[in-house]
């Protein structure tokens, strides 16, 4: 916007101090100034100079025109310098942002690796616990079988003791009943088969 203002200011100075012989070229100059002829694709510096100074009389304003162009060049150089600095700073910031993002990604992968490792360890622990539970369940079953067998053995020992007492007292009928009950218990449980 500043450039347009300065161009218009220099153009106004040029127009107010112009020789009458360049008035027919005002529409061309105005169009060229509004369109910024330096930015046109087919810019021709010779045509631009010839349009600005069509004859020798128009060269009286050469100093003013040159000063205006010099000031425009200075403004453009300043804008280019600022743009390059801004671009450089943005490039540095972009590099910092990319490096920071890469650091975050590396941290994320590291944490994901830790989580995967912990999950693997947890799964291994669960499998070990399940194996221990199976072993304990089998041991419990064996223990229950052993306890049951010991109780039956105790009952059998008690029955043998009673048989001895009955046989000593010559109570054979009661001993036969007790012996019959002991044998049927022995067959049903499979202790002495």
Measured between alpha carbons, how far is 174 from 179 in angstroms, rounded to an integer?
8
Q: Does pLDDT of 3 surpass 90?
A: no
Domain ranges of the chain: 2-90, 133-189
Per-residue pLDDT averaged across 158-170, rounded?
Answer: 83
Under the banding of pLDDT at 50, 70 and 90, the label for residue 30 is very low
* pLDDT tens-digit series, residues 105-120: 999 999 999 999 999 9
For residue 83, the SS3 value is helix
* Predicted pLDDT of residue 16: 55
User: What are the residue ranges of helices labelled H in the chain?
Assistant: 2-16, 26-35, 45-52, 62-168, 172-189
For residue 57, the SS3 value is helix
118-144 b/e with 16+ CB inside 10 Å = b? eeeeeeeeeeeeeeeeeeeeeeeeeee
């Amino acid at each position: 916007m500043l450039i347009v203002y300065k161009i218009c200011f220099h153009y106004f100075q040029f127009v107010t101090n112009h020789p009458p012989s360049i008035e027919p070229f005002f529409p061309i100059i105005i169009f060229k100034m509004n369109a910024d002829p330096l930015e046109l694709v087919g810019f021709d510096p010779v045509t631009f100079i010839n349009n600005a100074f069509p004859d020798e009389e128009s060269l009286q304003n050469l100093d003013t025109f040159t000063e205006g162009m010099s000031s425009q060049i200075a403004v453009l150089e300043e804008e280019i310098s600022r743009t390059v600095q801004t671009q450089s700073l943005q490039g540095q910031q972009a590099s910092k942002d990319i490096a920071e993002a890469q650091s975050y990604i590396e941290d994320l992968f590291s944490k994901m690796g830790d989580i995967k490792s912990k999950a693997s360890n947890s799964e291994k622990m669960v499998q070990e616990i399940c194996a221990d539970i199976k072993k304990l369940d089998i041991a419990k079953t064996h223990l229950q079988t052993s306890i049951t067998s010991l109780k039956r053995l105790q009952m059998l020992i008690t029955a043998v003791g009673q048989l001895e007492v009955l046989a000593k007292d010559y109570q054979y009928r009661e001993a036969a009943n007790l012996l019959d009950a002991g044998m049927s218990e022995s067959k049903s449980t499979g202790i002495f088969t």
